[in-house]
Structure 1
Amino acid sequence: MRLKLLLFTCVLLCALRTNAQQELISIPRGSGKVEIPFEYVNNFIVVRIVFNKIFPLKFIFDTGAENTILTRKEITDLLMVDYQREISIFGSDLTTELKAYVAPGISLEFGEHLQISSQAILVMKEDYFRFEEYAGIEVHGILGADILRRFVIHIDYRRQKIIFQDPSKFSPASVRNYRNIPVEFSRHKPYFNLPASIRADQSSEVKLLMDTGASLALLLYTHSDSLLQLPPELIRTTIGHGIGGTIDGYVGRTAKIKIDEMELNNVVTNFHDVAEQYVIDSTFLNNRNGIMGNVILQRFNIVIDYVREDVYLKPNKNFSQTFKFDRSGMSIIATGDNLNKFVVLNIVKDSPAFEADIRKGDEIKVLNGVPANLRGLENILRFLQKKPGKKVRLLIKRGEEKIRKELRLRDLI
């Protein structure tokens, strides 16, 4: 189920301080820009880097994370990195306190022409991500605002390219066809203040973190504003998993949200119902109401000028696409050594999967005649978003028994 979003926004309890004078950036002088390809997998931007000139790794490109994070401590252990100190962060569930180490002197290379040396990053004490299970690919960390803030960043979702540009080489005139969207930066992270109608008959302004580390459209914290009323049609479920644990709440649709004069309708929205007494000091969240993720952001070409604190958007051909949501009622994860086993993690009550007696722990072996290991997780999830009435035939494994199941997809929200 598409509910299994991941949120890679961490909140620091102890600030990571680096000596900017020691950090070295190598970028071509002529154009002052470097174009980097990325993979777009399950609504995540994944970039390839070379870590300390040795290890080829994959990192999530994350405008919602304050710091660059390595999740695999065994890598820096092999390099015998001298950790400076241990610090605490909160996970994306906003309640779980996690431990990380500050690792100085790290080198990161992007493509052939962009290198950042002597960078301090965070290294997680344990791998809290479980990213492979929920996205079906291997990822080793997060590329955060501590690196992105040095550049003007151009994101082209359709061409799957990111341009890192020297701010001194950038002119707003070069993006004259874009809209300059009012934005607020805090700790080098961009926030939108936008009018939204969660219900068609009710409107309020919401403050949203612009978060390319979230594979969702929209997430709202239900505790953050008494005016944020839940829509009439909701599913109670586990809405995701991020650093530190699962995220419980509801899924529904926001009737309308406006970005400048651009309007998006019937937006699939996750409502996070963390009890207020468990939420950390709101200053760490910059008093935001929620998150805008890639399922909205992918509808634009984006330019983020970190130095001048400007964001420019231009609608692309994805803009008018409807917001799709799972129609089966199943949450599915990828497991196994090669991530080629697909296991049901959760079932929504009274959904087609529930009525077909599909259960948590069932392994999907075949989907409509095609072995699941040939489809991959992303293809399976997209298949379960097909039109209402679509017949889904499954061969599942439950313990040692193989069972055939059949269901028909229908709208759940």
Structure 2
Amino acid sequence: MKKRLIYVSLFLLCLGPVAFCQVFEIPEGEKYQKVKFELINNLMVVPVEVNGVELSFILDSGVSNPILFNLSDKDSVQINNVSEITLKGLGEGEPIKALKSVGNTFKMGKAVNQDQPLYVVLDKDLNFSTSLGIPVHGILGYHIFRDCVVEINYVNKTMKLHDPGLYKYKGSKRSQTLPLDIINRKAYIDAAVLVKDEKEVPVKLLVDTGSSDAVWLFQDPEQGIDIPEKNYEDYLGKGLNGHIFGKRTKVNGVRIGSFTLKDAKAAFPYMESFGAIKNLGDRNGSVGAEILKRFNLIIDYSRNKITLKKNGNFKAPFQYNLAGVELQHNGVRYIAERITDSRGVVHSDENPIGSVQILFEDRTRLSLVPEIVVSAIRAGSPAEEAGLKQGDVILAVNGKRVHRYKLQEVLKMMNEKEGKRIRVLIERSNKDLTFSFVLKKLF
């Protein structure tokens, strides 16, 4: 698999504790704050106000302190009490330089922390926006979960931040409450996997809302956690210190409490990527958002427990990349559209595309739209065998012009279901080319 930009979000910082004086507080007289989020590639993107400026953060339970990155010349936010530090995280590269800041005001809804520590990474390569299709400025995790009972409704795309002192549990026959281990600002859950047969192997997994994958497992043949024969090597994502590679496959099942998810996607990262983490303890991997989104969750660090309730996503099949391509935004491009009908009547106000339009003689509209390109392609995939290449500009999928759709919608068009024929119009070296292939299962 050729290198591509960030596909999954996973930042496990190896940092010492940071002193803090304040916590996220719910306004007096209110039991909770309700926050809407966008769910993109299984990741929750939430609005967070930082020192009076609204930004977008991924809610990532695998991260210790908030990290701010990907600030463009359009973003202007003041950070307080800055010093330089070194950050260590996942990836095979070297630690990176960053800025440490304290005394910042973070606000989600009306929940406010007036003394929030923050790290600022200035590396431009650390960028979620191109692969998610929307601006993302950072990641936020532990402090929200520490200070609030966090209720997540993946179906309605809403989150409630409850005051732990006022929150009361409601009994439900359809939900199950399980213990959490909170270790070094991260939450772990006991689960089981069925790797090669029907024999369960007990595992301890990091609860990681910031991973778009289903489950990551650390290979341990002695414990029964071995890589299934049907697998392929892939780029799994990017950590703070570089790229993460491993094997993708599927396991027969993942059990959490009494809930079992069959034929689940799984990845086995190469352990070189975890060199910055000195002690993994008895951890066997991570459970990510492709599994977590199948439940509505109540995550309660104050009482060391998590409540899971099956939602409408539970029985959905695990989505594999059937085409074998990854897409990302790559700047912008102009597209020309006629705005008159056959009788010469102007329809310039109908469904304008892009934020910039230029009209020519009331007949043609030139619009500035995001450019979508093939960022990576899997060896032996249907798309590669058909002739698609990394760097190809996607113009249309099955006759639909992609500039009218969000990035994740285009990815879905190219991965709808096994056996579907996909026709892709691309631009390569200033030429328009069409390729056709049939989607097929990996395993």
The TM-score, its normalising length taken from structure 2, stands at: 0.84
Residue 81 of structure 1 and its aligned partner are, at CA, apart by 3.6
1:291-330 alignment, distance < 5 Å:
291-330=286-325
Distance across 1 between alignment mates of 2:12 and 2:309: 28
Which residue of structure 1 aligns with residue 231 of structure 2?
234
Counterpart residue number, 1:60? 58
Alpha-carbon distance, 1:90 to partner:
2.6
Residue in 2 that maps onto 1:45: 44
Aligned-pair distance for 1:379? Answer: 0.9
Give the corresponding residue for 2:371.
341
Q: CA deviation at 1:176?
A: 7.2
Query: Would the alpha carbon gap of residues 183 and 411 (structure 1) be closer, same or farther in structure 2, given more than 3 Å must change?
Result: same
| 1:253-275 superposed Cα distances (whole Å, 9 cap, x missing partner) | 01111111111110011221233
Aligned length: 406
Mapping for residues 81-160 of structure 1, pairs under 5 Å? 81-93=79-91, 95-111=93-109, 113-160=110-157
> Helix, strand or coil for the counterpart of 2:303?
coil
Residue by residue over 1:204-263, the C-alpha shift from the partner in whole angstroms, topping out at 9 and shown as x without a partner, is 222211111111111223369763211121122222334343321221101111111111
**Amino acid aligned to 2:307:** Y
Which deviates further from its counterpart, 198-207 or 266-275? 198-207
Which string of whole-angstrom CA distances, capped at 9 and with x for unpartnered residues, describes residues 27-66 of structure 1? 232342111111111211011122212x211011111111
Larger radius of gyration: 2
Calculate the TM-score normalised by the size of structure 1. Answer: 0.90
| Partner Cα separation in structure 2 for residue 339 and residue 412 of structure 1 | 33
Decide which moves more: 187-196 or 286-295: 286-295
Judge which range, 162-171 or 233-242, deviates more.
233-242
Opposite residue 63 of structure 2, the aligned amino acid is A
2:326 pairs, out of 316, 331, 335, with: 331
Residues 339 and 333 (structure 1), Cα distance of their counterparts in 2 relative to 1, 3 Å cut: farther
2:268 aligns with 271
- Distance in 2 (CA, whole Å) between partners of 1:199 and 1:326 is 22
Give structure 1 regions of 4+ aligned residues with deviation exceeding 4 angstroms.
Answer: 1-4, 72-75, 77-80, 173-177, 223-226
Change over 3 Å in CA distance of 1:335–1:231 after alignment to 2: same
Runs of 5+ unmatched residues, structure 1: none
Distance 2:121 2:172 in 1: 38
The 2-side partners of 1:123 and 1:328 are apart by 36
Question: Do the aligned partners of residues 3 and 43 (structure 1) sit closer, same or farther apart at CA in structure 2, a change above 3 Å counting?
Answer: farther
- After TM superposition, give the deviation of residue 160 of structure 1 in Å: 0.9
SS of 1:205's partner is strand
Q: How far apart, in 1, do the equivalents of 2:6 and 2:122 lie?
A: 24
The structure-2 alpha-carbon separation of the partners of 1:3 and 1:219, relative to structure 1 and needing over 3 Å to count, comes to farther
Matched residues in 1 for 2:120 and 2:170: separation?
A: 40
Is 2:216–2:268's contact at 8 Å kept on the other side of the alignment?
yes
Residue 261 of structure 1 aligns with an amino acid whose one-letter code is S
Deviation string 1:312-350 (CA, Å, 9 cap, x unpaired) is 111112111111111111122221148822221222222
Q: Identify unmatched segments of 5+ residues in structure 2.
A: 333-367
Measure, in 2, the Cα distance between the counterparts of 1:177 and 1:328.
36
Please give the secondary structure, in 2, of the residue aligned with 1:109: strand
- When residues 46 and 80 of structure 1 are mapped into structure 2, their CA distance, relative to the original with a 3 A threshold, is closer
Give the one of 387, 394, 402 matched to 1:364: 394
Percent of residue pairs identical: 28
